[in-house]
Amino acid sequence: MKASKMLLSTLKEAPQEAQIASHILLIRAGMIRKLVAGVYNYLPLGLKVLNKIEKIIREEMDNSGALEILSSAIQPKELWEESGRWNKYGPELFRFKDRHEREFCLGPTHEEIFTNLVRNEIKSYKSLPLNIYQIQTKYRDEVRPRFGLIRGREFIMKDAYSFDLDEKGLDESYQNMYHTYSKIFDRLHLNYKVVLADTGAIGGSESHQFMALSDIGESNIIYCNCGYAADEEKATCLDDIYKNDAQVENIEEVYTPNVKTISEVASYLNVLEKDIAKAVLYSYNGKPSMFLVRGDRDVNVVKVCNALNAAEHEVYLTTSDELNKYHLVEGFIGPIDCNIDIYVDSELANMKNVIVGGNKIDTHIKNVYLKRDVKNYTVIDLKDVKDGCLCPLCGKPLKSERGIEVGQLFKLKTKYSKAMKATILNEKGIEVPLVMGCYGIGVTRTMSAIIEQNHDENGIIWPLNVAPYHVVLIVINYDDEDQKSLADKMYETLKENKVEVILDERDAKPGFKFKDWDLIGIPLIVTIGRKANENIVEFKERRNNLKEEKNVDEVIDIILQKIKDEA
RNA sequence: CGGGACGUAGCACAGCUUGGUAGUGCAUCUGGUUUGGGACCAGAGGGUCACAGGUUCGAAUCCUGCCGUCCCGACCA
């Protein structure tokens, strides 16, 4: 491709809308352009990269035995009612009506569509196992789209769904995808961790996420050198054994005028924050429940949702009106003589002499022992795990790191097949529900994640196999006969060898051209200048920035070898 | 959903307090000089100042409403 014929829309300055490296560079390099919040157009260079990422995903998915299809983005309400998600999914679902007032949504994910498809096509266990996938546009009306392609409202996702006769089959399908995803992200040169994850709105029992490590990641990963790794929502830790063997003392009310927060109570009573029980109230359907953790801990909202069996958007911090209705006094809430459901973090279960709110103004209660003093409550894991907490597997302190979620695996089991009556006949001729798994890769998000991990102050540094082009030939002065003829010859030779090559013959200052291609991130850069008459050019790899003068034929050999190695 | 900031040429911004000819840099076009890390000179095109009302002789500027964008928070009693 000749540079003068390309749509190169590089920008010297970053638009104000972009804050993080990948977003800024995608725009500056002329790869994407925003249409509205969270919705982007892909320009030629950006689309080339996207296609290459998709190609790698396709190759590995096909290798795994999965079959590619393409389903529609428009989905009828009826299927979502069958699965029960039409009401459950919340405002992130783009909903609309057609001219006949029939209701539809734009698919944020495709469990219903694939389950419906398979239940209509497959009747016998002999057709199993089956894994079908697609690479397609998804729609989620995010509360707050941000970071360019990292969290968009329209984005491209590879989603796969496996169908098996039993859980043993599902385990194999799941493992197969686990390995396939590892290969895909290895080939994309991402630095990633696989972590245990919560199943969220998709549902199901077991889940792993593939996290590209990055400081701008929206997820917190908790991990340990022993191999344990989980996302923040799912992470657990060993309970800190504190005051479990203490002598139980008599329960006692204390006067605490206008002392409300944990830190205020701790300093007023001259105790540690971890001597106090923190009560947090969340409501679901207008009904509040109390969640107790130790004063130095935080309540994990996802664990709250799981306890209440509710979706995240359905749960909210209890309002003042609701507190009044249940005779609870803000700042002095506690589990004693209280008429709402109580969930207690396991760490508090055996702790003695805890300080709690007194459920009346300016009052706390000392020396509480839940087993003795509170009638009905449920012990669960509620606390938010942070670095420093102890690993549930080996007991050493956990560490944390930020990650961008680029892929996720779920064991759905029969959640959708039962609800939607997707059954097949087994060997005995008995009708049984399909056992399902689902597996996603955020394709456009992955593109951003690659940039987050591969850039410098001058621009993007694409790995060779996803770069929009392999090589650029920068001609210092295309009016110079020697330079022109050498550049043209090299360009033709590389093209004949199927190298994706750009010839920059534009009439511009050399510095301008260097900056342009550094920004765009072309991995191999050949500069053709004064020594063209000696068949000598300069060769540079974008990644290490080392420039070397070499003979043309030698450079061509190096380029061909690098491309061969990458494939 | 709550809080904050912002909307002026394709991009980055000034002008607004104190109402009176709509500006600067980059980009684009023309001509010339340049050619090894985002050149220089001369000229040109490009704006319903987000939108809608209002105040005023006169509004980018003041008032009201509305739409959009970005950031922060989602949280402890």
Task: Compute the average pLDDT of residues A505-509.
Answer: 93
Q: What confidence tens digit (pLDDT) does each residue in A234-279 have?
A: 888 999 889 999 999 999 999 999 888 888 899 899 999 999 999 9
Categorize the per-residue pLDDT at A310 as very low, low, confident or very high, splitting at 50, 70 and 90: confident
- Both A561 and A505 in one domain: the answer is yes
- Both A192 and A256 in one domain: the answer is no
Does residue A460 sit within a domain?
no
Task: List bases in chain B with any atom under 7 Å of a protein Cβ.
Answer: 1-2, 11-13, 25-27, 34-39, 68-77
pLDDT at A203 over 80: no
- Both A267 and A370 in one domain: the answer is yes
d(CA A558, CA A548): 12
Does residue A26 sit within a domain?
no
For CA atoms A251, A255, A261, A263, the dihedral sign is negative
- The pLDDT score that the predictor gives to residue A125 is 96
Distance, CA of A195 to C1' of B18, in Å: 61
Total of domains in chain A: 3
Out of A350, A380, A410, pick the residue that ends a domain.
Answer: A380
A547 Cβ within 7 A of any nucleic strand B atom? yes
Distance, CA of A498 to C1' of B52, in Å: 58
Here the CATH number for the domain that contains residue A279 is: 3.90.960.10
- Both A274 and A372 in one domain: the answer is yes
Distances (CA, A) of A188 to A53, A311, A335: 8, 34, 52
- Both A159 and A229 in one domain: the answer is yes
- Both A306 and A376 in one domain: the answer is yes
> Which structural domain range is residue A297 located in?
252-380
Task: Compute the average pLDDT of residues A169-186.
Answer: 97
- Both A173 and A263 in one domain: the answer is no
- Both A292 and A349 in one domain: the answer is yes
A232 Cβ within 7 A of any nucleic strand B atom? no
C-beta of residue A134 within 8 angstroms of C-beta of residue A70:
yes
pLDDT at A311 over 80: no
Here the CATH number for the domain that contains residue A220 is: 3.30.930.10
Neighbouring C-beta atoms of residue A35, cutoff 10 Å: 10
Here the CATH number for the domain that contains residue A561 is: 3.40.50.800
Distance, CA of A38 to C1' of B75, in Å: 27
- Both A194 and A66 in one domain: the answer is yes
Q: What confidence tens digit (pLDDT) does each residue in A410-462 have?
A: 999 999 999 999 999 999 999 999 999 999 999 999 999 999 999 999 999 99
A530 Cβ within 7 A of any nucleic strand B atom? yes
- Both A152 and A205 in one domain: the answer is yes
Q: What confidence tens digit (pLDDT) does each residue in A515-554 have?
A: 999 999 999 999 999 999 999 999 999 999 999 999 999 9
d(CA A132, CA A68): 6
What is the H or E stretch that residue A549 is in?
A: strand A547-551
Does residue A101 sit within a domain?
no
Residues 242-301 of A with CB under 7 A from strand B: 260-262, 265, 278-281, 298-299, 301
Does residue A461 sit within a domain?
no
- Both A59 and A182 in one domain: the answer is yes
d(CA A106, CA A51): 23
C-beta of residue A345 within 8 angstroms of C-beta of residue A333:
no
- Both A196 and A295 in one domain: the answer is no
Does residue A365 sit within a domain?
yes
A480 Cβ within 7 A of any nucleic strand B atom? no
